[in-house]
Structure 1
Amino acid sequence: MTEWRRLSARRGVSSDDGPYEGTPSHLRASLDHWLKSAMTAITVTAGTRHRTLNGNIIRRVALAVRLPLRSNVPTSTLMADFLHSCHSADDRYLDALDAALYMAPHADASELARILEEGGSVWTLRGDRKGLERRVDPAATQAFEQATDPDDLASAELGQAWSRAFGRDADASDAWDHAIKAVEAILAPIVVPAQDKPQIGHVLGQLRSQSDRWRLAVPGPEQNHSIDPLVTMLQTIWPNPDRHAAGNPRTPSLAEAQAVLHLAVTIVQWGRSGAIARA
């Protein structure tokens, strides 16, 4: 978060707090102000810019988030209704912020990012600044950005997995599926290039049966560049426990799916860099 720490925390009389889920009370005033600023139209009169509340934007975001509003009321009252509805539930408030980033043309994304960071929120802005996602360790974010830099199928699948693992519309099983597809997209052309409709199962079968023909750039504890660490990683992420191939299907947790995604990012990076190669 921000480098500044509260004096009481520096003195040791209280602990550092956060990150906070939801929209705690200390964040509400700043978030309310940001939403009011986002729900505006800008006009220019005699060279001077004016911002006024825009009822159309308020109603559009409210409709998307399913916020109840009164009709035939002044715009200022409409905005008050909007905020009152937001305050009724944390998820509703977060959905409103997420929608405003996407729909409100004058939403200041940088200002919202600052508020969330300085307020210790667990939420931050997505890379495209058009929505919210769960805050992730900067090193993990950097690894993801590097792995998805090329414009290809593996990057697209990782992007979908990231959105479903850390976004407001999180879905652990879907995130896991896209992570697997990203790994398949990067490894199949390397390991089983002639395979029709290749899957991780085909890749694993090849690596297990002909492990002596493959090597990792990382020497490993035996200094023999064994492919076994990759095999273990693939066994860890496949199959998705939500699928019948897992034997006893169950819905994975979000924490599990996030961990699998980080493994997939590493595997994709290895495949791109040539770290997985024939011996």
Structure 2
Amino acid sequence: MSDWQRLSVRRGVTTDDGPYEGIPRHLVASLDQWVKKALSPVRQTSGGRDRVTDPDLIRRVALAIRLPLRSNVATSTLLDDFVNSCRAVDDRYLDALDAILHIARPHPAGLAQILAEGGSVWTTRDDGRGLERRVDPTAAEAYEQAASPEDLASAELRQAWSRAFGRDSDASDAWDHAIKAVEAILAPIVVPAQDNPQIGHVLGQLRSQGDRWRLVVPGPEQDHSVGPLVTMLKTIWPNPDRHAAGNPRTPSLPEAQAVVHLAVTIVQWARSGVVARS
């Protein structure tokens, strides 16, 4: 998000300066221009390299977001129809931006800048293949570090992050993948001989034989107890949407996002040796 604020906001005359969930009017013109460029990639023509509207690309994106288009129309009309239809519904426009990034693979920097300067809650994913909810830069950096090694924990963490902060958000699925990421990183450390290890096995071991483990952080009793880690694991397990929770319910997205942040911390702790055998 841009550090600059409008003078009227700084003076207290205007208070509504975002972040915006949908597509506020001030973003429309810039997004229209970006979409038209993204759907008109640079091609080699007889006159050199020019932008050429790709009707097949437009139709692929339209199919992906379930947007009906008129048939047998000129390419320029098809592009205008697409943009006008997206403009009519905020969520449709956001879906279109997400799909264009995934299908057309334009460089995401221009769109990221538009969304940031326009005060949107959305930004482009690091891999440029979709939108995700903007998060605190420090939290995003922690996630990137935790998920950087190519292993099962990272794969699960990336799934959890996508489902918690992406356009295709699903709170329960995000929670499940967060748990799997923690299982993948802690089970080999805490219960390496366990068949089909789950987070419950890790918790059981830490509770019953906690003296075999220590945290780098000494804690209030200066005993390096793994009690804080046990509390963290009890916080994320089980997913309240599962029968093991006792009274199943669908978690809210903010709940799942908090759990994913907690999973990032646990994975990073395990990777850096914060939790280890005594």
Q: TM-score, structure 2 length as denominator?
A: 0.96
* Matched residue, 1:72: 72
Pair 1:35-2:35 in alignment? yes
The count of residues paired between Structure 1 and Structure 2 equals 278
**Cα deviation, residue 129, structure 1:** 0.5
Q: Over residues 29-88 of structure 1, what are the superposed CA-to-partner deviations in whole Å (9 max), with x where a residue is unaligned? A: 111111111111423346632112221111111111111111111111111211121122
- Partner in structure 1 of residue 224 of structure 2: 225
Gaps of 5+ in 2: none
Counterpart in 1 of 2:59? 59
Q: Secondary structure at the match of 1:40?
A: coil
Take 2:213 and 2:52, find their aligned partners in 1: how far apart are those partners? Answer: 64
Moved more, 16-25 or 151-160: 16-25
Pair 1:252-2:251 in alignment: yes
What is the one-letter code of the residue matched to 2:79? M
| 1:108 CA displacement | 3.4
| Gaps in structure 1 of 5+ consecutive residues | none
* Partner SS state of residue 9, structure 2: helix
AA matched with 2:183: E
The residue number in structure 1 matching 2:20 is: 20
- Equivalent runs, 1:200-279 vs 2, <5 Å: 200-279=199-278
Deviations 1:83-135 (A, max 9, x none): 12112211111111111112225x23111011000000000001101100000
| In structure 2, distance between residues paired with 1:250 and 1:59 | 39
The change in CA–CA distance for 1:277 and 1:108 in structure 2 (over 3 A counts) is: closer
Conserved? CA contact 1:65–1:95, under 8 Å? yes
* 2:4 matched residue in structure 1: 4
Q: Which amino acid aligns with 1:205?
A: G
Aligned to 2:109: 110
TM-score (norm 1): 0.96
Give the secondary structure class of the aligned counterpart of 2:181. Answer: helix
- Counterpart of 2:164? 165
Deviation at 1:218, TM superposition (A): 0.7
**8 A contact 2:147–2:157 mirrored in 1:** yes
Supply the AA of the counterpart residue of 1:119.
G
Contact 1:147–1:155 at 8 Å: present in 2 too? yes
1:146-196 deviation digits (Å, cap 9, x = unpaired): 101111110010001001111111111111011001101111111111111
- The residue that corresponds to 2:193 in the other structure is 194
1:177–1:90 Cα change, 3 Å: same
Moved more, 138-147 or 13-22: 13-22
| Counterparts of 1:15 and 1:265, CA distance in 2 | 34
- Cα distance between partner residues in 1 of 2:257 and 2:77: 42
- 8 Å Cα contact 1:68-1:85 kept in structure 2: no
- Work out whether residues 9 and 17 of structure 2, in 8 Å CA contact, stay in contact via their aligned partners in 1: no
State how far apart, in whole Å, the 2-side matches of 1:147 and 1:91 are.
31
